[in-house]
Structure 1
Amino acid sequence: MKSNKKFHTLDITLVAMFAALMAIGANITSWAPFLQVAGVPLSMQPFFAILAGLLLGSRLGAVSMFVYMLIGIAGAPVFAGFSAGAAVIFKSTGGFILSYIVTAYVVGKMVEAKKEPQLSTFMIASFVGIFLIYFIGTNYMYLAVNYWLSAPMSYGTAWKVMLWFAVKDVVFTIVGGFLAPRIYRSLQRSAYFAQQKNRTA
């Protein structure tokens, strides 16, 4: 959904909500340890990052992910394992945190490009989003462990490690792709977003 460059009250609320959802998604197994499959924790971060782009659009979606990153860098324990600080960005999984910003922006742009986005638009955008997350995150992990973390790993091994997580993320991507259109249209019918459209018309 497009909006002018000013941030309004609901914009800030939505950005804060998705930043909070990312924090919850990063540590969901800490509260619900049973949410694991074959020992792989069911992180909800890719799901919420893609959903942010689908529902908030490129600008607010990317801002919400950027705010989430800043909150963690500032010291709030919102990263996986309740970790925090700038050092997390330079660890092997730091690329995934960065990928969420790019993903939300690109996914949002894909939805915004359609005047009346259909289910196919949301599904395609969702899969582009999960591809970006894994492409950026896995390549960053490979570079990190080989060049500044002194824990050599082959490129193929890096992708094999991530395949365990990819299965559950593909499932969540499909679920999100199906849920997003209904939520999106509900938001579009709201008085607030109708006003936003009029401002940008």
Structure 2
Amino acid sequence: MKAYEIVLCAFFAALMAVGANVSPFLTIGGVPVTLQLMFAILAGGLLGSRLGSLSMAAYLFIGLAGAPVFAQFKGGPASIFSPTFGFILSFILVAYATGKILGHSRKKTAYLYAGAAAILLNYVIGTNYMYAAFKWWAEAPSDFSYAMAWSWMAIYFPLDLGITVVSLAVIPKIRSALNQRKVYPVRD
């Protein structure tokens, strides 16, 4: 890896830490409200699939090493047992898929597919992990079911859809600005 690629990965890992804690005490149904999905999409769309997913993996490992970078300023290996840890795992694939689908495409349909893939990966991985965590090791309500886990996530969907649309809308503008200044070094 080149030095600027390492810096870009570190930058997006830091943005994820900030995005995880923009609203440190706002939770709905036990899931904190964050801007992490936005930064995962931006990482993939701006850095490409390889560097975008690498930056999200760096964020994951920084948090598992004990730095309080996860939502609500949490971190450490015990985070694996948090019901929301699946969402953190999903960000690696969200960045990868966004980067792969967008590539260097200027087609508007690519942005639609990237957004759909981002939300789908985030929700499927995160919600299934949350369901498994509540069933196996976390305290769940006595009547907790798979349908209930998904109904909890329905509360977040409008927010995540809006975040996804905004994120995808700014990617071409940021790419264009960087290309005009000839500082867009990433080639996936």
Q: For this structure pair, what is the TM-score category when the shorter chain's length is used for normalisation?
A: 0.7 to 0.9
Of 41, 53, 58, which residue of structure 2 is paired with 1:62?
Answer: 53
- The aligned residue for residue 5 of structure 2 is 11
* Paired residues of 2:32 and 2:71 also in contact (CA < 8 A): no
Of 110, 123, 129, which residue of structure 2 is paired with 1:121?
Answer: 110
Deviations 1:144-178 (A, max 9, x none): 11123253620010011111111111011111111
C-alpha RMSD of the superposition: 2.4
* 2:137 is aligned with 1:143: no
Of 79, 94, 115, which residue of structure 1 is paired with 2:70?
Answer: 79
Change (3 A) 1:193 1:29: closer
After TM superposition, the structure 1 = structure 2 runs for residues 26-105 of structure 1, keeping only pairs within 5 Å, are: 26-30=20-24, 42-105=33-96
* Paired residues of 1:50 and 1:130 also in contact (CA < 8 A): no
Q: Residues of 2 paired with 1:126 and 1:180: CA distance?
A: 12
Q: How many positions carry a matched residue from both structures? A: 185
Of 116, 122, 128, which residue of structure 2 is paired with 1:133?
Answer: 122
Q: Residues of 2 paired with 1:68 and 1:41: CA distance?
A: 17
**Percent of aligned positions with the same letter in both sequences?**
45
Structure 2 segments unaligned to the other structure (5+ residues): none
- The aligned residue for residue 151 of structure 2 is 160
Q: Residues of 2 paired with 1:82 and 1:26: CA distance?
A: 8
Q: TM-score if structure 1 supplies the norm length? A: 0.82
Of 6, 10, 15, which residue of structure 2 is paired with 1:21?
Answer: 15
- The aligned residue for residue 3 of structure 1 is none
State the secondary structure of the residue aligned to 1:172. Answer: helix
Structure 1 segments unaligned to the other structure (5+ residues): 1-6
